[in-house]
Amino acid sequence: MNSSPSHTDDDPRSPGTPPDPQRLTPAFQQLVEVIARLRSPEGCPWDREQTLETIKAYTLEETYELLEAIDAGDDEAIVEELGDVLLQVLLDAQIGADEGRFDLLDVIAGITDKMIRRHPHVFNDAQAETVGDVHQHWEQAKSSEKSGRDSLLDGIPVDLPQLARAARISKRAARVGYDFPDRVMLFDKLREEIAELSQELFHDATVPHVAAGVHGPVRPDTPLADQETRTRVESELGDVLFVVANIARRWQVNPEEALRKSNHKFVRRFRFIETQLAAGGRSPQDATLQEMEDLYQRGKNQESP
């Protein structure tokens, strides 16, 4: 198998140049044949027993691993993870073919037709001078394709991460003008929703003023009184998160991506705490809250701006 890169600094390509078909065709054919062989009676028992349902979790996992590699800026890892994502697509298509439902050619023809249809300014005589014009062409084509839907909100995947889905839902509603006229109004709405959440969490709807800090022992959290209270708190907390997703949308920030990066940042800094403590033969369980906070801030200060 040829493992040499298909593109090097000695072989520059201008943007938009496809791979050399003399190299792409046999390479792609070999990959397709490998996957088909895995699904054959002489292939792999694990691959043979997979269905579109059982493979879903792996598809999602590989997508997130690709995002992690992109965040790290690691080209070698990106290539590997793109390969894993491509494997999922080809395996799904092979499963579809084996079940007599569809095959890879259907998948390729479908996405090719869609890209041509939704880019009339590239493949036809429509005009698009701005990104806004491009969006308009895209949405017009998409609307004509999905004319059988009952609601403007149909077609948003229910299994999307819910912050991302909230942004998609509100964006669809905004297309027909159901949106705050001024995005700054969302902060007033956020204050309103936080007040309603506070009313459910605290008897007099006033959040006690306790300055953020690490002094004193950690107080145990009191569980919510009953299921009815929990339901109301979940509802109000969901409203707060929905408004936060809308703030992200109006400032053109992906809320799911923002949260993912914050999670990654916290993990990186907490691991710094663990590493520093381990160097002295200790663990977080052996350290005080103040010690861990000091290490957290030290790790934060050592990060590149």
Q: Give the model confidence (pLDDT) of 9-66 as tens digits.
A: 555 678 889 999 999 999 999 999 999 999 999 999 999 999 999 998 899 889 989 9
Whether residues 88 and 45 fall in one domain = yes
Whether residues 86 and 128 fall in one domain = no
Is residue 166 situated within a structural domain? no
Whether residues 111 and 34 fall in one domain = yes
pLDDT reported for residue 279? 95
pLDDT reported for residue 90? 97
The candidate with the shortest Cα–Cα distance to 242, out of 182, 173, 155, is 173
pLDDT at residue 124 tops 60: yes
Q: What is the 3 state secondary structure string of the chain?
A: CCCCCCCCCCCCCCCCCCCCHHHHHHHHHHHHHHHHHHHCCCCCHHHHHCCCCCCHHHHHHHHHHHHHHHHHCCHHHHHHHHHHHHHHHHHHHHHHHHCCCCCHHHHHHHHHHHHHHCCHHHHCCCCCCCHHHHHHHHHHHHHHHCCCCCCCCCCCCCCCCHHHHHHHHHHHHHHCCCCCCCCCHHHHHHHHHHHHHHHHHCCCCCCCCCCCCCCCCCCCCCCCCCHHHHHHHHHHHHHHHHHHHHHHHHCCCCHHHHHHHHHHHHHHHHHHHHHHHHHCCCCHHHCCHHHHHHHHHHHHHHCCC
Backbone angles phi, psi at 221, to 5 degrees: -80, 135
State the total domains in the chain.
3
Q: Tell me which residue range forms the domain holding 128.
A: 119-148
pTM: 0.65
Contact criterion met (CB below 8 Å) for 284 and 277: yes
Number of other residues whose CB lies within 10 A of the CB of residue 255? 21
pLDDT tier, 2 (very low <50, low <70, confident <90, very high otherwise): very low
| The length of the chain, given as a count of residues | 305
pLDDT at residue 148 tops 70: no
Is residue 106 situated within a structural domain? yes
Domain boundary among 117, 136, 167: 117
User: Based on the number of CB atoms within 10 Å of its own CB, is 168 exposed (0-12), middle (13-18) or buried (19 or more)?
Assistant: middle
Domain boundary among 117, 133, 161: 117
pLDDT reported for residue 247? 96
pLDDT tier, 305 (very low <50, low <70, confident <90, very high otherwise): low
Task: Please state the rounded mean pLDDT for residues 220-235.
Answer: 90
Give the pLDDT confidence of 259-276 residue by residue, as tens digits. 988 999 999 999 999 999
Q: Which residues 6+ apart lie within 8 Å of 6 measured at CB?
A: 19, 20, 23, 24, 27
Whether residues 60 and 106 fall in one domain = yes
Whether residues 144 and 84 fall in one domain = no
Whether residues 264 and 288 fall in one domain = yes
pLDDT at residue 70 tops 80: yes
Is residue 267 situated within a structural domain? yes
Whether residues 92 and 105 fall in one domain = yes
pLDDT tier, 140 (very low <50, low <70, confident <90, very high otherwise): confident
Whether residues 113 and 124 fall in one domain = no
pLDDT reported for residue 231? 94
Whether residues 30 and 105 fall in one domain = yes
Domain boundary among 148, 168, 193: 148
CA distances from 93 to 45, 82, 102, 264, 300 (A): 18, 17, 7, 33, 45
Is residue 133 situated within a structural domain? yes
pLDDT at residue 232 tops 70: yes
Whether residues 128 and 65 fall in one domain = no
Q: Who wins on pLDDT, 254 or 144?
A: 254
Whether residues 32 and 105 fall in one domain = yes
Backbone angles phi, psi at 297, to 5 degrees: -65, -35
Distance CA 196, CA 268 (A): 34
Distance CA 162, CA 170 (A): 12
Number of other residues whose CB lies within 10 A of the CB of residue 99? 10
pLDDT tier, 105 (very low <50, low <70, confident <90, very high otherwise): very high
pLDDT at residue 173 tops 60: yes
pLDDT reported for residue 170? 94
pLDDT at residue 215 tops 90: no
pLDDT tier, 78 (very low <50, low <70, confident <90, very high otherwise): very high
pLDDT reported for residue 5? 52
pLDDT tier, 3 (very low <50, low <70, confident <90, very high otherwise): very low
Is residue 48 situated within a structural domain? yes
Is residue 18 situated within a structural domain? no
pLDDT tier, 139 (very low <50, low <70, confident <90, very high otherwise): confident
Whether residues 59 and 130 fall in one domain = no
Is residue 46 situated within a structural domain? yes
Region of residue 155 (left: phi > 0; alpha: psi -120 to 50; beta: else): left
pLDDT at residue 147 tops 70: no
Write down the mean pLDDT value for the chain: 89
Is residue 89 situated within a structural domain? yes
- For residue 84, the domain's CATH number is 1.10.287.1080
Q: Which residues 6+ apart lie within 8 Å of 175 measured at CB?
A: 139, 152
